[in-house]
Structure 1
């Protein structure tokens, strides 16, 4: 646990560019989300129940005689009684304890709703960040494919010129035509090839029929145009997928669906050495649902104590006031003195079946809550194990895709060189470029799974774990 705390302190020192913006949105969601407001108001309502615990209201009875009742002390005008009942010692304290624990349980439900809201918001935010990176990479690859198209058109036109003019020299024989592949999968070409690109720019989008030829070079052009059309369609789909995520984020913050959402910064892979048992211990200590069940158990314990005390007598103390009016007898005033009589009362709880049933009810409810807590603990441990598995798998996938990208870029560079030399294996060039695109998408997806897995652990443990970069 000490190692985990030190790790959290270290993580708090390292900030991502997107973290501050994400934190601001999380605060806004916590302040405005309707569901979270509902849970909080339910907690506030439950916290007022404790203020309602008090002695029973005193009872006042007033009886007025329409005709004064003749008594020895005079004519009685009315009968006024005031009585205050007092429960058995400890009853009010037990009621306050039960109300406080139930309010605490409602507060833990509010915290659990907040954690679920944050997790939902984070996953949508990370999905939007992943989508933005996929759009950027798709646009870069689309530009690369268009360069390949111009390159294929140059080769096609060079081959056509060579067939009509034997003295011409095809591009394939030019030793100065060279290709190189950058680290990001974006290809750069030699000076002579760049010059040929500019010469063929006007004919890059010409149709095969307009060229009047269906030679092997045009097959390469058609093949790459098929990939361009497919990638353009995929790019439109990626852009269309942004709207549902933006609407979801806005609605989680209770904002208008068309409100502007700032573009998330690219997700960066991170390394994190977490002690699995320490995380599990943090979950069992800090998860709000477990704390809610603990509060319910304490509340039911108070209810059981209340049931026992309810089987004890209640005492009452009061006063009976009877006003008298003097009565004239034989010309003399008789009586007229008011009477005040102290009174004491006590309930007799002789029907024990009711008390026994209340105690049994509280005990059975406690047992049910214990079973619910045990099941929740099992589910949390299952969620912990899956999140750890997903995080470790994402870490392995990120390392794998980075290695695969390096090899794929080297392979593409060799294929481009071979194509520039002999004009063969252009289909392999396109296949290698598509493989790089797939690996880049897979790497982004793996990084996103890193963040979502960490967000899941954060939700389960409610510790605010944050990643740090390599």
Structure 2
């Protein structure tokens, strides 16, 4: 299992480099390492791989040795004396190379099972990373809502001041207060959703659901695109698994051919003979030893022919499944790439809109200094600003979630 761990240390190093480009990425790395060590799904597949691998030792066996014993209730008389009892031993041996073929078949099945471990670890990295970015999105939105609540409180003070001098109405103040209540409600809902996502995250790490998860406070979309080598998809573990299953069927057919061959048996019979009384001659009472050779021929071997046909059909089935899965993975990769490009476009647009909204906000504040302000405009600009901030956070989260999918598919 050391090779598995070493391989995933390399994969996750690339994952971290790909996802987060500052020291805060170490937080995610530590969480993934903890998940890899404790997640029961990983443990399940590792134990399954060990169990299948252990079957190689089980395959290295021959049929049971047969022992037999019999006592002559009526002792048959022979020239040398009466036969009293008989002991026999017999050992059947499979055809040459059968045991090796059986071991090779089990080994090929173990190789296919190994890919399940690799796939499970990749999926775990993706799941932990995606949950981590969901938590980041939630925290970032809470922070934005808190800032907007403070901004609205500032506007409320301005409205109250204007109300005293007759430049605003009580309705304007109430509208600002209602807007604060609405945003406060959104924040409280996000807090509850954060707890639910935190539980899901902690369970991926197989630990108590109440443990606080610390996420990065700020993420930005990198200015440069990273090269994506789609050719790596061809060696994805989900596809390699089908290649190894195909080879295991080839090994199964070789084993089937060997098992359809004869079996050779060797044995020995021992018969105890008692001496004939009152007689003196050569071999009087001499025991009998009879070496034996036997052969087991599968004359009615329709089962082996049927197994050959089944193996051919199963190989065709595996090829069809592989092509179907390859099509699905290619679709997922293209979708993730396009979604990530879209998130970058959206991020740039929201950044531009947010800048313009802040400019509009500054204009409104300057108008207040000159003695005129429309608090309906204030609410409109605040709502737009909040919308752009939320969309910006969602774009960042989407970029990294899609990067997680891309990393799962091609790393």
TM-score w.r.t. length of structure 1: 0.79
The 2-side partners of 1:259 and 1:321 are apart by: 74
Contact 2:16-2:29 within 8 A present in 1 as well: no
The 2-side partners of 1:365 and 1:274 are apart by: 40
Contact 2:18-2:403 within 8 A present in 1 as well: no
Return the match for 1:137 from 144, 159, 164. Answer: 144
Query: Aligned pair in 2 of structure 1 residues 272, 359: CA closer, same or farther (>3 Å)?
Result: farther
Q: Secondary structure, in 3 states, of the residue corresponding to 2:148?
A: helix
The 1-side partners of 2:358 and 2:349 are apart by: 14
- Which residue of 1 is the match for residue 118 of structure 2? 111
Give unmatched runs, 5+ long, in structure 1: 160-214, 464-470
Query: Aligned pair in 2 of structure 1 residues 289, 13: CA closer, same or farther (>3 Å)?
Result: closer
Offset of 1:70 from its aligned partner?
2.8
1:62-73 pair list within 5 angstroms = 62-66=69-73, 68-73=75-80
1:207-218 pair list within 5 angstroms = 216-218=168-170
The alignment status of 1:246 with 2:253, answered yes or no, reads no
More off after superposition, 433-442 vs 217-226: 217-226
The 2-side partners of 1:52 and 1:355 are apart by: 22
The 2-side partners of 1:133 and 1:360 are apart by: 60
Offset of 1:388 from its aligned partner?
0.6
Contact 1:327-1:334 within 8 A present in 2 as well: no
- Which residue of 1 is the match for residue 47 of structure 2? 41
- The one-character-per-residue Cα deviations of 1:360-390 (angstroms, maximum 9, x if unpaired) are 1111111111111111111111111111111
- Which residue of 2 is the match for residue 24 of structure 1? 30
- The one-character-per-residue Cα deviations of 1:8-55 (angstroms, maximum 9, x if unpaired) are 599379853332222222222222222332222222211111111122
- Which residue of 2 is the match for residue 164 of structure 1? none
The 1-side partners of 2:16 and 2:191 are apart by: 37
Query: Aligned pair in 2 of structure 1 residues 33, 10: CA closer, same or farther (>3 Å)?
Result: closer
The 2-side partners of 1:260 and 1:439 are apart by: 29
The alignment status of 1:321 with 2:273, answered yes or no, reads no
Offset of 1:297 from its aligned partner?
0.7
The 1-side partners of 2:267 and 2:22 are apart by: 71
- Which residue of 1 is the match for residue 172 of structure 2? 220
Query: Aligned pair in 2 of structure 1 residues 11, 26: CA closer, same or farther (>3 Å)?
Result: closer
Contact 1:105-1:296 within 8 A present in 2 as well: yes
More off after superposition, 108-117 vs 267-276: 267-276
Structure number, greater radius of gyration: 1
Offset of 1:127 from its aligned partner?
0.6
Query: Aligned pair in 2 of structure 1 residues 89, 338: CA closer, same or farther (>3 Å)?
Result: same
The 2-side partners of 1:255 and 1:293 are apart by: 34
The 1-side partners of 2:283 and 2:289 are apart by: 18
Q: Secondary structure, in 3 states, of the residue corresponding to 2:72?
A: strand
1:193-272 pair list within 5 angstroms = 216-272=168-224
Q: Secondary structure, in 3 states, of the residue corresponding to 1:328?
A: coil
The 1-side partners of 2:85 and 2:332 are apart by: 73
Contact 2:16-2:25 within 8 A present in 1 as well: no
Offset of 1:400 from its aligned partner?
1.6
The 2-side partners of 1:22 and 1:71 are apart by: 88
1:121-136 pair list within 5 angstroms = 121-136=128-143
Contact 2:145-2:183 within 8 A present in 1 as well: yes
Return the match for 1:50 from 26, 48, 56. Answer: 56
Contact 2:42-2:120 within 8 A present in 1 as well: yes
**RMSD over aligned Cα, in angstroms?**
2.5
The 2-side partners of 1:356 and 1:72 are apart by: 51
Q: Secondary structure, in 3 states, of the residue corresponding to 2:370?
A: helix
Contact 1:86-1:315 within 8 A present in 2 as well: yes
Query: Aligned pair in 2 of structure 1 residues 10, 355: CA closer, same or farther (>3 Å)?
Result: closer
- Which residue of 1 is the match for residue 5 of structure 2? none
TM-score w.r.t. length of structure 2: 0.90
Offset of 1:239 from its aligned partner?
1.2
More off after superposition, 115-124 vs 435-444: 115-124
Offset of 1:136 from its aligned partner?
1.0
Offset of 1:312 from its aligned partner?
1.8
Offset of 1:331 from its aligned partner?
7.2
Contact 2:239-2:322 within 8 A present in 1 as well: yes
Offset of 1:68 from its aligned partner?
4.2
Offset of 1:457 from its aligned partner?
1.3
Return the match for 1:349 from 274, 293, 298. Answer: 298
The 1-side partners of 2:224 and 2:90 are apart by: 69
- Which residue of 1 is the match for residue 323 of structure 2? 374
The 1-side partners of 2:115 and 2:307 are apart by: 26
The 2-side partners of 1:332 and 1:353 are apart by: 56
Offset of 1:333 from its aligned partner?
8.9
The 2-side partners of 1:263 and 1:368 are apart by: 45
Contact 2:133-2:401 within 8 A present in 1 as well: yes
Q: Secondary structure, in 3 states, of the residue corresponding to 1:235?
A: helix
Contact 1:327-1:333 within 8 A present in 2 as well: no
Offset of 1:140 from its aligned partner?
1.1
The 2-side partners of 1:69 and 1:416 are apart by: 124
Give unmatched runs, 5+ long, in structure 2: 1-10
